[in-house]
Structure 1
């Protein structure tokens, strides 16, 4: 299929996840479709301005060859702007009616990009058609996932470059973002989460046989640690707090690219949502995932589905490693088992996570290799479009 234009619609609700994914996909598509006009349509700009410091508060702007336009502005100018050959509806964001009406007459492919899921049933729905009233426009479901038969996960070249650079330049990157901090002989990790209680983690690390340095990222993470640390006997140096053998730093907000540089050089990453979680697993380092909370604990079904796919993908490991993996995946479930985002103490125990850190690191590297080789979403999407 010859493509001249692509539109990507994204509705930002209350977090950075959706725009983070769309921003990443659009940048990678531009590298593949270099001469294709790509527009990203957003309902608002606040979160995008936070993750990309070049974004301005205007209705229409171009950054690195990509056009960003507000939904309101596109709607007001739809007659002159027109539609695209392909348009992507990210996460059921409901493209406005006038656009759909025109697209049924002039567009070729409507891609319904769903949320990432490990559930097995998505493999049967991936690339299936949804019938619409049009002779020229076809609508398909694109189901991102953790298996070869699914749509895969977003693996963009920019991230891979930062991953490779970080592997060879740990000290340089840490000095760039956290000058004058002492990381020598310390286990270094990042924490990025929704509101939660981290007391269990701190109690394990304060007496751990190795000193640790935790880089605390995001307002909700800062709030979570402040809630606990005000009750502990700590040494407070402004942005840096010490508790036992732990040094913690309240980091400033980073852009998407800056965040990726940092997580590529540390030893482990606690991630949240979807975008940072996928970066965490692709790095092949020990990780924890704080999944987005859903009503009636529906998020726990998603966690269990992911752990099942994880197990399937690293079956060729020793019996001892399998025991460690069982513990690790159970810890991941306990870490997320909640009805609300609160500061209530959980039941997760991180002792074995750090005692078996090297084994978990080995397992995560195997899993990352599988995803990198078999589950590249943009490559899969590009292949589908080319063969359409």
Structure 2
């Protein structure tokens, strides 16, 4: 039987925003649902070109293709491929579903022959207090159908966090042998990195803070390697080194005791291993932000800027939660560091970087314990499957 005609299949719609963030989350979720729950997943994506950067084997010109047990379908406006009602319909991050999809599920709702799918809006991750009260609430649509708002989060009363069952075991095995990271750096074409050197991965938006940090790192007492992919992070360093404007993956540039390495794009497994292998990770968005937490390493979160600085409210909510078990002086410094990075406050950033030392023992112990506490024994996919059963 075709996977489109079985009532057991799920459909996930994702409109790609900011290149990798939304598709990063939905791709991880789709893979996990297929692998761990044997669900037949259709992932509808409107921008296969951007998707191919994190799934290099994807062919952006093919309308239908399968990877990791997930069927990936090109989402055109209007929809060209046929949509059929499955067990679950997920619209990721309030993307607007095609009219034909709404018409089809409305027809299923009115039919006595077929049940409509459980309709969910997968929201963005937030640590704000109000998330608990809104998670799982239904909204009655014009068609008479209910759409449920599903909020990922850090507490037991939210939708949980994306985390594969074996992820922490794989991470611990990787980090137990220093040779793994050196082999990875070699595979990525990064030369000259010794086991004792400090390695920082950078995947941020544009900010003068990167320029300020790199100037500081040039005069470091020990060697520092900054690993930066082509793209938005690199744009911030053109004043520091004009040659970066024409940089290619695999190149490296030495500036005093700092070496800048230009990273090639990698798939999600490779990105996880990169985060596991670095001493400090500077990340952006949602998917990379969560994977940096699972890496059990200190990190800085460059949150996506919103109107009226609402992103700073979200950042403070997370920092309050994350710093809860840290010694007060370290919690204060770590909070100030992240706020400075997100407010382009280079003076405070440098002061806190020099004072805090992200690699100190309390920070390292906290980074290791935090993933265990944050997961709350149940990941997002598990809670999502249970939510659908209860619905």
Q: TM-score, normalised by structure 2?
A: 0.86
Cα separation, partners in 2 of 1:187 and 1:77, compared to 1, 3 Å: closer
Given that 1:324 and 1:356 are in contact with CA atoms closer than 8 Å, whether structure 2 keeps it comes out as no
Residue of 329, 354, 357 corresponding to 1:354: 357
Is the aligned partner of 1:116 residue 2:125? yes
State how far apart, in whole Å, the 1-side matches of 2:200 and 2:190 are. 16
Aligned partner of 1:364 in structure 2 is: 367
Q: 1:348 to 1:126 in 2, by over 3 A?
A: same
List gaps (5 residues or longer) in structure 1.
233-237, 339-343
| Aligned partner (choices 37, 40, 43) of residue 43 of structure 2 | 40
209-218 vs 52-61, greater mean Cα deviation = 209-218
What is the 5 A alignment of 1:34-183?
A: 34=38, 36-56=39-59, 57-72=61-76, 75-78=79-82, 81-104=83-106, 105=108, 106-133=115-142, 137-157=145-165, 159-160=167-168, 162-168=170-176, 169-178=180-189, 180-183=191-194
2:211 to 195, 199, 214: 199
Summarize the Cα distance change of 1:164–1:17 in structure 2 as closer, same or farther, 3 Å threshold. same
Are 2:18 and 1:14 aligned? yes
5+ residue gaps, structure 2, are 1-5, 109-114, 245-249
Q: Relative to 1, partners in 2 of residues 1:13 and 1:228: Cα closer, same or farther, differing over 3 Å?
A: same
Per-residue CA deviation, residues 146-174 of structure 1 (Å, 9 max, x unaligned), is 22222122112475465234313223322
SS of the residue corresponding to residue 76 of structure 1 reads coil
- 1:271–1:100 distance in 2 versus 1, CA, 3 Å: same
Shift of residue 370, structure 1, vs aligned partner: 0.8
Partner of 1:341: none
Residues in 1 aligned to 2:67 and 2:243: alpha-carbon distance in whole angstroms = 46
- Aligned partner (choices 247, 254, 260) of residue 272 of structure 2: 260
Q: Distance in 1 between matches of 2:239 and 2:219?
A: 21
Which of 295, 304, 325 is the aligned partner of 1:292?
A: 304
**2:154 touches 2:375 (CA, 8 Å); kept in 1?**
no
Q: Does 1:240 align with 2:240?
A: no
2:292 is the alignment partner of 1:280: yes
Taking a change above 3 Å as real, the CA distance of residues 77 and 364 of structure 1, as seen in their structure-2 partners, is: closer
Compared CA separation, residues 258 and 55, structure 1 to 2 (3 A): same
Work out which of the residue numbers 319, 333, 340 in structure 2 matches 1:327.
333
Match of 1:235 in 2: none
Report the Cα distance in structure 2 between the residues aligned to 1:273 and 1:14, rounded to whole angstroms. 9
Q: How far apart in 1 are the matches of 2:207 and 2:32?
A: 34
Q: Is the 8 A contact 1:83 1:107 kept in 2?
A: yes
Cα 1:3–1:161 change in 2 (3 A) is farther
- Give the direction of change, closer, same or farther, for the CA distance of 1:376–1:354 in structure 2 (3 Å limit): same
How many residues in Structure 1 have an aligned counterpart in Structure 2? 367
- TM-score, length-scaled by structure 1: 0.87
C-alpha separation between the residues in 1 aligned to 2:229 and 2:98? 35
Residues 1:262 and 1:121: Cα distance change in structure 2 (over 3 Å): same
Q: Matches of 2:340 and 2:378 in 1, distance apart? A: 27
